[in-house]
Structure 1
């Protein structure tokens, strides 16, 4: 595999599972120095150990990026350890409030917005100055297909992910002149532990139904998302910014 991220420092939130973990493995294999963040220290330490055993360079910082001070400290530690920050994949997110709009209480609404939108805002607020100081770089925010569509019973999650798309576009315009590119991923179904944990009592049936929703007839594997993240963070994508880019098996085209 190429070393296109040699000497580049990349931060990943939501790094210990699914798409975040796959991105960490891909970027480490391409030479990146990684700063990985999630709430669970044990899983983070295990991931770092595995990456280092494979020849990669990574460090783990336990962080809840729904809290601005922790998002800021994460960036500070990245720069303190490696001297710079060149890119980030803001991957934290999950649907936490399910059901019709009339059944979502205020606390659940705000919790969904905190996890899926405020976390990205806090990340960008503190990542962008570090990328400016490094002379530029790239950020990818995970918005999901519900950043451009709706779904019954997922109002707060969809509202938050639509917010991520708008935030991405506005921040990209704020930072373009300084050489910082910011894009959003529009992902479809991805075979992650989180997805499988929410499949209900008939998981195989639910997986088949999810696959059937996608014109390509399947859901993605995390490494497919990771490859696209790596492309967007690389200099090969140096003319792409402010975009919401679908990697969804044709889901949103329908």
Structure 2
């Protein structure tokens, strides 16, 4: 896995660098002492995993995650406990408190290895929805999933079911991890447990919508954004 460290403390960078050198399967590409400098690099290079501090100048770690359109896997490394819930809501792999012992570091990176790598094509922004794709790990192989074949995603804790037109694929990882890979113009979260492909919606009412013949509940938190979108499609 190609890794980047973003931390404003040189000592923290040194410790993580030593941990990575001890661990097979991980390559440190670069380290940065503020997130602003790292932003362009992360968005233009093949980065699989970021070790990210939270309290940093200019852009803090949580702001940095929200800026990234296609964030890679992220392990938060911080001295502060109070940001854990907000960070986990951003679908980070793990939340490590400094000072970070090697055994705890190893647990976190092994968790990152177990999660499937979802990396959109670099040309996604120039292609119609039907041409976008990613590879999903299935056993010892990785299979191609074409975005246009996806009807909706259903999350259940740390697992996600990808409902295609004619079959289902099961993946390890939470719903946000997968749903956030897709463009907001094509997919929308409509419930805490569901992301739907907007062009697959067949009908709807105030409480539910139907995709590929399945009834999906509309969550109260997501209802307004969904109805605003659907109202623009009314004749």
- Which structure has greater helix proportion? 1
Q: Specify which structure has the bigger relative contact order, considering alpha-carbon pairs within 8 angstroms and separated by 6 or more residues.
A: 1
What's the TM-score, normalizing by structure 2? 0.37
- Which structure has greater strand proportion? 2
**Structure number, greater radius of gyration:** 2
